[in-house]
Amino acid sequence: MNLSFFDQFSSPSLLGIPLILVATLLPALLLPSPNNRWITGRLSVLQLWLINLITKQLMIPLDKKGHKWALILTSLMLFLLLTNLLGLLPYTFTPTTQLSMSLALAFPLWLATLLTGLRNQPSVSLGHLLPEGTPTPLIPALILIETTSLLIRPLALGVRLTANLTAGHLLIQLISTATTVLFSTMPAISFLTLIILFLLTILEVAVAMIQAYVFVLLLSLYLQENI
């Protein structure tokens, strides 16, 4: 039974071909296709309102130079949001529970923000490695610590996203299994675990949205440091 709990995190395959690419493209199919008219219905109005709200929230920490990244950050936010929420449906696969997927999103974008800072303001970007007023004997140790903290940022981004989603999926499966097993022997306790499962599902919906927002927000903060 312990192995079956983790089977949901294995990438599905058909005839030996991994279907993770299909799982990552599915959220894009849910968005309305472009039309000659700006607004084609209520769904388009809701979509435009959501995109406008997300873009405003992500652009708050950035100055005008960082607004060039609005399309990338908003697209990433929508992708993570839809992927995380679709993963809560039964018999679905969540690509962001794979550490390789999360790191593949975190590392290139973090590296792009770092290279942007080194190209535009190299002295300021390198100055973050050594706080002002540091005593001379502590300079080598502080440079090493700051460099380590800088290089660990993409790993922290990916692990945070994957760990939170994985823990939530495991808890939902454990409690749902307990609800099914206890239904025939102890219906009262089974009903109690069913209520807990319902509340946990609501919590996981919130976690899925919050983790998508935190992932992109931290990237925007890293970008602000380098522009």
pLDDT at 10 over 70: no
Tens-digit pLDDT profile for residues 99-111: 888 999 999 999 9
Does 129 or 175 have the greater pLDDT score?
Answer: 175
* Residue 12 resides in a domain: no
* Residue 122 resides in a domain: yes
Under the banding of pLDDT at 50, 70 and 90, the label for residue 32 is low
State both tokens at 26: 């599915």
pLDDT at 214: 92
Q: Give one word for 16, left, alpha or beta, with left for phi > 0 and alpha for psi -120 to 50.
A: left
* Residue 7 resides in a domain: no
* Residue 36 resides in a domain: yes
Phi first, then psi, for residue 88 (nearest 5°) are: -85, -10
Distance from the Cα of residue 223 to its chain's centroid: 17
pLDDT at 211: 92
State both tokens at 107: 């590392």
Under the banding of pLDDT at 50, 70 and 90, the label for residue 173 is confident
* Residue 11 resides in a domain: no
What total of structural domains would you count in the chain? 1
pLDDT at 133: 73
Query: Pick from 81, 96, 216, 83: which is nearest to 165 by CA?
Result: 96
C-alpha span between 211 and 215 (Å, rounded):
6
pLDDT at 58: 81
* Residue 195 resides in a domain: yes
Average pLDDT rounded to a whole number, residues 154-180: 89
Q: Which domain holds residue 220?
A: 18-225
Quick one: what percent of the chain has pLDDT higher than 70? 81
C-alpha span between 203 and 163 (Å, rounded):
15
pLDDT at 14: 67
Average pLDDT rounded to a whole number, residues 119-136: 77
* Residue 99 resides in a domain: yes
Tens-digit pLDDT profile for residues 47-79: 778 878 888 888 887 878 778 888 888 888 888
DSSP the chain: -HHHHHGGGSPPEETTEE-HHHHHHHHHHTSPPP-SSS--SHHHHHHHHHHHHHHHHHHTT--GGGGGGHHHHHHHHHHHHHHHHHTTSTT---GGGSHHHHHHHHHHHHHHHHHHHHHH-HHHHHHTTS-TT--GGGHHHHHHHHHHHHHTHHHHHHHHHHHHHHHHHHHHHHHHHHHHHHTTT-HHHHHHHHHHHHHHHHHHHHHHHHHHHHHHHHHHHHHHHT-
C-alpha span between 98 and 160 (Å, rounded):
12
pLDDT at 1: 45
Phi first, then psi, for residue 133 (nearest 5°) are: 80, 20
The average confidence (pLDDT) of the chain is: 81
Q: Choose the weakest-confidence range: 12-21, 121-130, 192-201.
A: 12-21
Q: Which residues pair with 14 in a beta bridge?
A: 17
pLDDT at 2: 47
Query: Pick from 129, 125, 109: which is nearest to 117 by CA?
Result: 125
pLDDT at 155: 92
* Residue 168 resides in a domain: yes
Under the banding of pLDDT at 50, 70 and 90, the label for residue 159 is very high
